[in-house]
């Protein structure tokens, strides 16, 4: 630990000759190896602490500690004007604009703890306990002295007020940073404005992004004028140009277009097309409604959803939808607009190569190092498979209720008879593939009982039973800190394969009417492998169609048909 001392009279004189001044030189602390040449044409006010190698050039610094090897250059004001928690404890009105799901953020917030705070409001004792933990942590992080960590570079910024800056951060040309924390490795660029915020490890705010009362998670990027207020963004989310207000953006939420508008909703592994709009236009009782787009949903260009609404995982949404649909039990579907109606095509996305590509690209694009958010990437899992099982039962019930119907109504959507029958075939094949895959991993163990309903807790697949057990432990005081809560979620994550295996085995037992033998389980694994290969042949054919001559329109403009395909393949990187 660095030992600090006061300046000597000779050092003060040398500093003044270099154009520096101080409110009180006695309040400046320096290391034993201090050299005045590192401070140039600057103003030091209040309590300033310099670690070895710290540099301040043409800047005003008040009540800050500048870490080892860090430089502050051309900054109008780097100041801590009063005691601050540096954004810890800031109340963020996520999902509900009226604040009914407010999440107090802090610099160790995980997606799972945020999910509990936002979703489990019907457990006031649990919420109160978590909020008390966060208040205690915020007070522990409070100080009258701001801090710049080791190896930081802060250049050309205007006002940085009450901001704790971690190690190896870069701030270049930011306009205003106020009451926040930049964790290790953060990058903040030109014209950024951030108020009452937390930016987790390796987060990036750049090119005029504006955030107010926001949490920007690990390796997230807000760029190119994106504006966000009262919103949470978790691991690897990437948003540019558009606007967000009161959203819970789970891992890998993506929006790149100027015309995108996301208000009062929950998203994860989400992609917003150009002109997409998820908004809240029912203000009869105020802005109290919300929409939930489960994992992997996509909005096509121009898609519009009026809250409240809910779509199943991996649903492609096209067109306008204003009737407040609920298709949660129909994953991998298309929801399209036709003749001013919401038309549901169950399971249609199972034939799309795009869904396969998405599932494969997410783990490959994981840039995190700390990995505080617990994320499952498994394509075949109890959560989505359980929804497909419920979807099959529902489709059978609809068909049996009127076998000759041309179409069926379901939760403000319409399902055509042909789409219903096709959906049954697709879901049944996917269920076989999923059960085989889960039985092929993990092992049978009474210790890891995965039976019952599963949920997707902001990226983590986990049983509802275990989630409620964690919350009960919080209520009993057995998990006194948020770190302890996160550890309980991680313990389940470590043994996920065994829990998923247990769930699949119990499903097989229910289907067979008895506990499956080892031979029967091996048969299910083999059938699952065959079903998966058949599904991949379908999605590969979809990819081939996307690479066909019919899709090469506009290529090889100055050549013949051969040149068109040569140009197309060269540009697409095809062989």
Q: What is the rounded distance in angstroms from the CA atom of residue 138 to the CA atom of residue 135?
A: 5
Q: What is the rounded distance in angstroms from the CA atom of residue 512 to the CA atom of residue 375?
A: 32
pTM above the 0.85 mark?
yes
| pLDDT at res. 570 | 85
| pLDDT at res. 552 | 80
- State mean pLDDT over 423-434: 98
Q: What is the rounded distance in angstroms from the CA atom of residue 143 to the CA atom of residue 322?
A: 49
| pLDDT at res. 287 | 74
264: nearest Cα among 305, 320, 318, 206: 305
CB-CB contact of 248 with 100 (8 Å)? no
Q: What is the rounded distance in angstroms from the CA atom of residue 260 to the CA atom of residue 68?
A: 42
**76: pLDDT confidence band, cut at 50, 70 and 90?**
very high
The token pair at 510 is 């229910």
251: nearest Cα among 110, 351, 141: 110
The token pair at 439 is 């039985």
Distances (CA, A) of 181 to 62, 314, 500: 17, 34, 38
Q: Where are the alpha helices (DSSP H) in 107-265?
A: 111-119, 124-140
pLDDT tens figures, 191-227: 999 999 999 999 999 999 999 999 999 999 999 999 9
Is the dihedral angle over the CA atoms 389, 394, 400, 404 positive or is it negative? negative
| pLDDT at res. 574 | 77
Query: Which helix (H) or strand (E) element contains residue 389?
Result: helix 382-401
- State mean pLDDT over 18-39: 97
Least confident interval from 81-90, 279-288, 367-376: 279-288
Q: What is the rounded distance in angstroms from the CA atom of residue 496 to the CA atom of residue 504?
A: 12
Q: What percent of the chain has pLDDT over 90?
A: 90
The token pair at 575 is 């062989």
Distances (CA, A) of 90 to 141, 180, 549: 13, 9, 55
| pLDDT at res. 280 | 72
pLDDT tens figures, 335-350: 999 999 999 999 999 9
| pLDDT at res. 399 | 97
CB-CB contact of 374 with 110 (8 Å)? yes
CB-CB contact of 352 with 333 (8 Å)? no
pLDDT tens figures, 437-488: 999 999 988 899 999 999 999 999 999 999 999 999 999 999 999 999 999 9
Within 13 Å of residue 186, how many CA atoms lie on the same side as its CB? Answer: 29
Own/partner pairs, 306-309, CB within 8 angstroms, 24+ separation: 306/279, 306/280, 306/281, 306/282, 307/263, 307/264, 307/265, 307/278, 307/279, 307/280, 307/281, 307/282, 308/282
Q: What is the rounded distance in angstroms from the CA atom of residue 448 to the CA atom of residue 518?
A: 18
- State mean pLDDT over 46-75: 98
pLDDT top residue among 542 and 262: 262
Q: For 375-397, b where at least 16 C-beta lie within 10 A, e where not — what string? A: bbbbebbbbbbbbbbbbbebbee
349: nearest Cα among 539, 546, 544: 539
**365: pLDDT confidence band, cut at 50, 70 and 90?**
very high
Beta strands (DSSP E) in 357-450 are 407-410, 413-416
Is the dihedral angle over the CA atoms 269, 275, 279, 282 positive or is it negative? negative
| pLDDT at res. 144 | 98
DSSP string spanning 104-147? E--TT--HHHHHHHHH-TT-HHHHHHHHHHHHHHHHHT-BSSEE
Q: Is 194 helix (H, G, I), strand (E, B) or coil?
A: strand
CB-CB contact of 106 with 137 (8 Å)? yes
Q: What is the rounded distance in angstroms from the CA atom of residue 478 to the CA atom of residue 468?
A: 14
> What backbone torsions phi and psi does residue 401 show, to the nearest 5 degrees?
-70, -30
**282: pLDDT confidence band, cut at 50, 70 and 90?**
low
> Is residue 248 scored above 70 in pLDDT?
yes
Least confident interval from 256-260, 313-317, 508-512: 256-260
Cβ neighbours for 401, distance < 8 A, ≥ 6 positions apart:
none
Q: Where are the alpha helices (DSSP H) in 402-494?
A: 417-439, 464-475, 482-494
| pLDDT at res. 286 | 66
| pLDDT at res. 466 | 98
Is the dihedral angle over the CA atoms 81, 83, 84, 90 positive or is it negative? negative
The token pair at 528 is 């699952």
C-alpha 414: how far from chain center: 31
pLDDT tens figures, 137-148: 999 999 999 999
What's the mean per-residue pLDDT of the chain?
A: 95
268: nearest Cα among 287, 251, 281: 251
- State mean pLDDT over 30-44: 97
Least confident interval from 269-283, 378-392, 506-520: 269-283
Please, what's the largest Cα pairwise distance for the chain? 97
- State mean pLDDT over 495-503: 98
The token pair at 493 is 């994550």
Q: For 529-559, b where at least 16 C-beta lie within 10 A, e where not — what string? A: eebbeebeeebeeeeeeeeeeeebeebbeee
Cβ neighbours for 494, distance < 8 A, ≥ 6 positions apart:
none
> What backbone torsions phi and psi does residue 172 show, to the nearest 5 degrees?
-130, 100
| pLDDT at res. 485 | 98
Q: What is the rounded distance in angstroms from the CA atom of residue 171 to the CA atom of residue 79?
A: 15
**284: pLDDT confidence band, cut at 50, 70 and 90?**
low
pLDDT top residue among 370 and 549: 370
The token pair at 262 is 């996301």
> Is residue 31 scored above 80 in pLDDT?
yes
- State mean pLDDT over 37-60: 98
**430: pLDDT confidence band, cut at 50, 70 and 90?**
very high
CB-CB contact of 207 with 112 (8 Å)? no
Q: What is the rounded distance in angstroms from the CA atom of residue 177 to the CA atom of residue 197?
A: 9
């Amino acid at each position: 630990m660095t030992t600090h001392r006061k300046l000597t009279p000779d050092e003060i004189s040398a500093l003044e000759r270099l154009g520096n001044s101080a409110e009180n030189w006695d309040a400046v602390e320096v290391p034993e190896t201090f050299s005045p040449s590192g401070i140039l044409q600057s103003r030091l006010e209040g309590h300033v602490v310099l670690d070895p190698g710290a540099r301040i050039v043409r800047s005003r610094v008040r009540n800050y500690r500048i870490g080892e090897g860090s430089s502050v250059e051309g900054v109008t004001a780097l100041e801590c004007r009063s005691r601050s928690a540096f954004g810890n404890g800031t109340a963020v009105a996520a999902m509900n604009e009226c604040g009914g799901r407010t999440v107090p953020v802090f610099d160790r917030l995980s997606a799972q703890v945020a999910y509990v705070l936002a979703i489990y409001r019907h457990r006031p004792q649990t919420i109160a306990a978590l909020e008390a933990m966060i208040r205690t942590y915020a007070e522990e992080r409070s100080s009258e002295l701001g801090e710049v960590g080791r190896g930081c570079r802060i250049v050309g910024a205007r006002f940085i007020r009450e901001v704790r800056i971690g190690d190896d951060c870069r701030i270049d040309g930011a306009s205003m940073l106020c009451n926040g924390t930049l964790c290790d490795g953060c990058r903040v660029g030109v014209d950024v404005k951030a108020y009452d915020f937390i930016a987790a490890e390796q987060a990036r705010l750049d090119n005029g992004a504006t955030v107010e009362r926001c949490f920007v998670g690990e390796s997230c990027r807000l760029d190119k004028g994106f504006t966000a207020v009262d919103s949470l963004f978790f691991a690897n989310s990437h948003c540019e140009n558009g606007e967000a207000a009161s959203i819970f953006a789970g891992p890998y939420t993506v929006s790149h277009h100027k015309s995108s508008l996301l208000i009062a909703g929950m998203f994860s592994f989400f992609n917003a097309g150009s002109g997409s709009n998820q908004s809240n236009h029912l203000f009869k009782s105020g802005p109290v409604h919300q929409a939930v787009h489960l994992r992997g949903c996509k909005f096509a260009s121009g898609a519009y959803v009026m809250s409240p609404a809910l779509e199943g995982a991996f649903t492609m949404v096209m067109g306008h939808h204003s009737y407040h649909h609920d298709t949660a039990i129909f994953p991998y579907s298309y929801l399209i607009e036709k003749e001013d109606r919401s038309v549901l095509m169950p399971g249609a996305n199972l034939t799309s190569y795009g869904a396969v590509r998405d599932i494969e690209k997410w783990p490959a694009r994981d840039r995190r190092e700390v990995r505080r958010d617990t994320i499952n990437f498994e394509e075949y899992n109890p959560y989505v498979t359980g929804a497909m099982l419920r979807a099959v039962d529902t489709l059978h019930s609809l068909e049996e209720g009127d076998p000759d119907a041309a179409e069926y109504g379901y939760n403000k959507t319409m399902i055509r008879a042909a789409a219903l029958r096709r959906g049954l075939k697709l879901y049944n094949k996917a269920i076989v593939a999923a059960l085989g895959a889960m039985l092929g991993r993990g092992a049978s163990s009474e210790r890891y009982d995965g039976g019952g309903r599963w949920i997707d807790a902001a990226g983590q697949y986990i049983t509802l039973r275990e989630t409620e057990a964690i919350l009960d432990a919080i209520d009993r005081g057995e998990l006194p800190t948020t770190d302890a809560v996160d550890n309980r979620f991680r313990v389940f994550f470590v043994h996920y394969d065994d829990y998923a295996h247990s769930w699949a085995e119990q499903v097989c037992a229910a289907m067979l009417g008895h506990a499956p033998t080892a031979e029967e389980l091996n048969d299910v694994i083999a059938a699952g492998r065959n079903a998966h290969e058949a599904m991949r042949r379908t999605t590969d054919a979809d990819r081939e169609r996307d690479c066909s001559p019919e899709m090469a329109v506009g290529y090889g403009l100055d050549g013949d048909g051969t040149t068109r395909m040569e140009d197309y393949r060269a540009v697409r990187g095809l062989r």
